[in-house]
């Protein structure tokens, strides 16, 4: 829980979790948080996790989805997910398979504000490279 408290309060954090999809990873993290014997309700834990900016979903050591956590839907009591890229595989006529990344959405306002702040502060160049 200490890690998630730190991230929730604005610190940068990175972690990994095993789950069947980028959206399902939030439920898995809540499940792991419950192992710490927290008395916080599931909804509060999910809302706490909306401080996560980006979920990178991988299968067999390959990136398959990049999904942003755009915020919290108060009516549905669940995180708002914003898929940005997805790896799509398809079968060629010769029976071989090919894959490619498809842009399925644009970055959400929450993430773009952080990118702009990093550019203004000089931590990130306008072309996306770190300084």
Q: Is residue 55 part of a domain?
A: yes
Q: Is residue 114 part of a domain?
A: yes
Number of domains in the chain: 1
**pTM: predicted TM-score of the whole model, two decimal places:** 0.81
Task: Give residue for tokens 């160049």.
Answer: 125
Residue 21's domain comprises 1-123
Q: Is residue 129 part of a domain?
A: no
Beta bridge partners of 130: 124
Q: What is the pLDDT of residues 23-41, one digit of tens each?
A: 999 999 999 999 988 999 9
Q: What is the pLDDT of residues 48-88, one digit of tens each?
A: 999 899 999 999 888 999 999 999 999 999 999 999 999 99
Q: Is residue 33 part of a domain?
A: yes
Residue 32: exposure state from Cβ atoms within 10 A (0-12, 13-18, ≥19) = middle
Q: Is residue 130 part of a domain?
A: no
CA distance 50 to 54: 10
């Amino acid at each position: 829980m200490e890690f998630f408290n730190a991230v929730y309060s604005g610190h940068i954090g990175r972690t990994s979790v095993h789950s069947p999809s980028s959206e399902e990873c939030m439920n898995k993290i809540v499940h792991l948080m419950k192992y710490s014997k927290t008395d916080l309700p599931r909804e509060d834990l999910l809302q706490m996790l909306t401080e996560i900016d980006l979920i990178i979903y991988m299968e067999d050591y390959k990136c398959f989805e990049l999904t942003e956590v755009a915020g919290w839907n108060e009516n549905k009591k669940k995180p708002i997910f914003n898929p940005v890229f997805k790896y799509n595989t398809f079968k060629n006529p010769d029976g071989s398979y090919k894959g490619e990344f498809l842009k399925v959405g644009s970055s959400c306002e929450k993430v773009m504000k952080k990118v702009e702040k990093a550019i203004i502060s000089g931590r990130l160049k306008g072309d996306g490279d770190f300084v």
